[in-house]
Amino acid sequence: MSTMPTPFASPSAGSSAPSSGTIGGSATSSATGSATEKFIASAEAHSAHNYHPLPIVVASAEGAWMTDVEGRRYLDMLAGYSALNFGHGNRRLIEAAKAQLDRVTLTSRAFHHDRFAEFCTRLAELCGKEMVLPMNTGAEAVETAVKTARKWGYRVKGVPDGRAKIVVAAENFHGRTTTIVSFSTDEEARADFGPYTPGFEIVPYGDLAALRAAVTDETVAVLLEPIQGEAGVLVPPAGYLAGVRALTRERGVLFMADEIQSGLGRTGRTFACEHEGVVPDVYLLGKALGGGVVPVSAVVADADVLGVFKPGEHGSTFGGNPLACAVGLEVVDMLSTGEFQQRATELGDHLHAELGLLTGAGKVTEVRGRGLWAGVDIAPSHGTGREVSEKLMERGVLVKDTHGATIRIAPPLVISKEDLDWGLDQLRAVLS
């Protein structure tokens, strides 16, 4: 069993975890009128209730650690759904942002700026592609990819106007816009938001035969997550992604990989598709691309795909702004060394080995994932995913539940092995 780790220096960020404050705390342990309760009451009164967060109020963060308004410390084992792959307050990223803040932050795409070309060039090189279309959020990248596929289908493939179809997978999570929820199978995300956008065919995830049957002459793209994060970190059967790649080539269809959560180091490779030696036609990127500093997303493809756009046909006021490009360029530089991918591989192997022991002990029913990313299905006798998340919070570890019985574990890639082990010790204690 590990003891509480001492403050550590992250190998890349050059910063240490906060050294003061207690570890964790119960949602009900504070006195009435505490700072936490006041913040939460104000949020409940004045913000839409579209989230159900754990009852903590974060005030500061560094590396893999967060501190709340009461001075209690928590190990972040979620990392903003991969948006914080490089940890909180990563010095390289903060310094890049600060330097750009003193120069220029926004021009809009009505003008050129001096960070845009280098960002697009370097990101294209990282992906092995020719062109980049920068946006802001992951959902915007998905919407942009949908528009790209349809326009490519009409202009290049010759699909009759208004007939383009995109095949997607059941249990997907690509965002929450009206178009995206139109092809969601999650009723919580979809219900009461119709009428729904047509043009999508949903097939079971991991089922190549169903995918083959769904592809027609009017299909312009197959849009998939290489690993389904929100669904519980579902890894497809071996050979599935390679089969999708072969089928899409055979039928003249774009393979669009949503690597918004799975990409940029999380699984131990730059892209999750690499685990099967697959290169899609289109990468959808976001989250970690902004380094946890600013929202940055992008659609990356070759010129024969992204070249279908002409001036005025798509855009974004903030897409590709100077601040976003400065931070995104630093992210690309950090990933180009391979350090973070190797770290995710080594720590991920350790994470999955330790979680596998819980399966053998009957405390969890299944563990899935790759690299520093795991979906853990809690055995019914040990509570729901939400209950386990709340108990972990009380012990100073932050994770997130999904689909009832599952918790997701995805710490920043800068986490130390000692901190990771301490977090796993807390999970063992909760499940004891």
- Which pTM value belongs to this model? 0.94
Burial class for 430, CB neighbours closer than 10 Å (0-12, 13-18, 19+):
buried
Model confidence at 394, in pLDDT bands (50, 70, 90)?
Answer: very high
Look at the domain 35-76+340-430 and name its fold: Aspartate Aminotransferase, domain 1 (3.90.1150)
Token pair for residue 153? 């289908």
Better-scored residue on pLDDT, 394 or 4:
394
Instruction: Provide the pLDDT for residue 18.
Output: 47
Q: Please confirm, yes or no, whether 173 is among the known catalytic residues.
A: yes
Indicate the pairing of strand 165-169 with strand 200-203. parallel
Model confidence at 25, in pLDDT bands (50, 70, 90)?
Answer: confident
Q: Please confirm, yes or no, whether 147 is among the known catalytic residues.
A: no
Q: Which is catalytic among the residues 68, 76, 183, 258?
A: 258
Q: Which is catalytic among the residues 86, 119, 173, 309?
A: 173
pLDDT digits (tens, 9 = 90+) for 122-151: 999 999 999 999 999 999 999 999 999 999
Burial class for 46, CB neighbours closer than 10 Å (0-12, 13-18, 19+):
exposed
Are the beta carbons of 205 and 244 closer than 8 angstroms? no
Please tell me whether residue 332 adopts helix, strand or coil conformation: helix
Better-scored residue on pLDDT, 360 or 13:
360
Model confidence at 7, in pLDDT bands (50, 70, 90)?
Answer: very low
265 dihedral zone (left: phi>0; alpha: psi -120 to 50; beta)? left
Is the pLDDT at 33 greater than 90? The verdict is no
Question: What b-and-e string marks burial along 358-393, b requiring 16 or more CB atoms within 10 Å of the CB?
Answer: beeeebbeebbbbbbbbbbbbbeebbebbebbbbbb
pLDDT digits (tens, 9 = 90+) for 159-189: 999 999 999 999 999 999 999 999 999 999 9
Indicate the pairing of strand 364-369 with strand 374-378. antiparallel
Of 5-9, 260-264, 274-278, 335-339, the poorest mean pLDDT is in: 5-9
Residue 297's nearest CA partner among 87, 130, 82 is 82
Instruction: Provide the pLDDT for residue 26.
Output: 66
* Annotated domain spans of the chain: 35-76+340-430, 91-336
Question: CB-side exposure of 289: number of CA atoms within 13 Å?
Answer: 35
Q: Please confirm, yes or no, whether 98 is among the known catalytic residues.
A: no
Please tell me whether residue 160 adopts helix, strand or coil conformation: coil
Look at the domain 91-336 and name its fold: Aspartate Aminotransferase; domain 2 (3.40.640)
Question: CB-side exposure of 335: number of CA atoms within 13 Å?
Answer: 27
Give the whole-angstrom CA distance, residue 134 versus residue 299: 6
The one-character DSSP state at 137 is S
What are the Cα distances from residue 18, in Å, to 73, 87, 216, 347? 8, 13, 56, 22
Q: Which is catalytic among the residues 287, 363, 391, 400?
A: 287
pLDDT digits (tens, 9 = 90+) for 311-352: 999 999 999 999 999 999 999 999 999 999 999 999 999 999
